[in-house]
């Protein structure tokens, strides 16, 4: 079955540590996205990538970094510079980036807790 | 500025009754509009979208949404609610214009729907 796989599902981190969340898709989608979800705040865009080796900052990119070396993969690193990293992180993809008619397909999410 | 508003944090309905989850937007031009649903500890699932044409859009699981351009609204509806419809619902808007808004969705804060037996 095609879809998006996020791992790990749950992750605990000590303050000052960097962590990397994995996102892999086998849908042959060009565009990939990372969102952060906090209770009552909806989804906020962290980074997005339209094609391999290219990505742009979203609304809350500070303290995060990404790479897009392969079409299937878009890992997110939460660095120690992110002041409040505890959240639910969602990865998504779409066929192409520029058409609003495209539907986003989401992964099941990764819940990060800073101890 | 582009924005999406879901004025109700929570909506409670009895099973079998009709339900409405409200969404209004403030974007330039003629936007594309979406509804997504999220079950606990899961990603979002696409329900339906409005691009152009008939103002009443039908989607998955018996849901429909009505686009009202004059009121800039896109309310989600279902004639008869099920307990299994209980979830978090998100409205999203895509402003179809070039520039800084190219190629991204703006999400509302979400509305928690609870359907009781």
* Contact residues on chain A for B32, CB-CB shorter than 8 A: 100-101
> Could you tell me if B41 lies within 8 Å of chain A, comparing CB atoms?
yes
Of B31, B103, B110, the CB nearest to A97: B103
A77: which residues sit within 8 A by CB, 6+ positions away?
Answer: A18, A19, A20, A21, A64, A65, A66
Average pLDDT for residues B65-89, to the nearest whole number?
Answer: 96
Question: How does residue B101 score in pLDDT terms, banded at 50, 70 and 90?
Answer: very low
- Cβ separation A101–B104 shorter than 8 A: no
pLDDT tens for residues B6-42? Answer: 999 999 999 999 999 999 999 877 888 999 999 988 8
Note down pLDDT in tens along chain A; length 115 residues.
Answer: 569 999 999 999 888 899 999 999 999 999 999 999 998 888 999 999 988 999 999 999 999 999 999 999 999 999 988 888 999 999 999 987 666 667 899 999 999 999 8
In 3D space, the residue among B43, B51, B60, B58 whose CA is nearest the CA of residue B94 turns out to be B51
Q: Percent of chain B at pLDDT above 90?
A: 72
Beta strands, E only, chain A: 4-7, 10-13, 19-25, 31-38, 42-49, 56-57, 64-66, 76-78, 87-94, 105-106, 110-114
Give the total residue count for chain A: 115
> Could you tell me if B22 lies within 8 Å of chain A, comparing CB atoms?
no
From CA A24, how far away is CA A5, in angstroms rounded?
5
Q: Are strands A110-114 and A10-13 parallel, antiparallel or unpaired?
A: parallel
pLDDT confidence of residue A82: 87
- Cβ separation A90–B43 shorter than 8 A: yes
Question: How does residue B55 score in pLDDT terms, banded at 50, 70 and 90?
Answer: very high
Radius of gyration of chain B (CA): 14
pLDDT confidence of residue B29: 78
Chain B residue at shortest CA distance from A47: B104
- Cβ separation A105–B46 shorter than 8 A: yes
- Residue A102 CB neighbours (<10 A): 20
Question: How does residue B100 score in pLDDT terms, banded at 50, 70 and 90?
Answer: very low
In 3D space, the residue among B112, B38, B34 whose CA is nearest the CA of residue B67 turns out to be B34
B85: three-class secondary structure by DSSP:
helix
């Amino acid at each position: 079955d095609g879809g998006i796989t996020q791992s790990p599902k749950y992750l605990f981190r000590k303050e000052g540590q960097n962590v990397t969340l994995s996102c892999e898709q086998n849908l042959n989608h060009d565009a990939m996205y990372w969102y952060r979800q906090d209770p009552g705040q909806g989804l906020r865009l962290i980074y997005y990538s339209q094609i391999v080796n290219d990505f742009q900052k979203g609304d809350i990119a500070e303290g995060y970094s990404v790479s897009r070396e392969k079409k299937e993969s878009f890992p997110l690193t939460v660095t120690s510079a992110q002041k409040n990293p505890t959240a639910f992180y969602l990865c998504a993809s779409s066929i192409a980036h520029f058409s609003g008619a495209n539907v986003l397909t989401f992964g099941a999410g990764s819940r990060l807790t800073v101890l | 500025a582009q924005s999406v508003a879901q004025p109700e944090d929570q909506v409670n309905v009895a099973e079998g009754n009709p339900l409405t989850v409200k969404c209004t937007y403030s974007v330039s031009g003629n936007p594309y509009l979406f509804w997504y649903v999220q079950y606990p500890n899961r990603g979002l699932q696409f329900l339906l979208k409005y691009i152009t044409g008939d103002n009443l859009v039908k989607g998955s699981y018996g849901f429909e949404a009505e686009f009202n351009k004059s009121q800039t609204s896109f309310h989600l509806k279902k004639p008869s609610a099920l307990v299994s419809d209980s979830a978090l619902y998100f409205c999203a808007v895509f402003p179809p214009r070039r520039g800084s808004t190219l190629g991204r969705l703006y999400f509302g804060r979400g509305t928690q729907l609870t359907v009781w037996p």
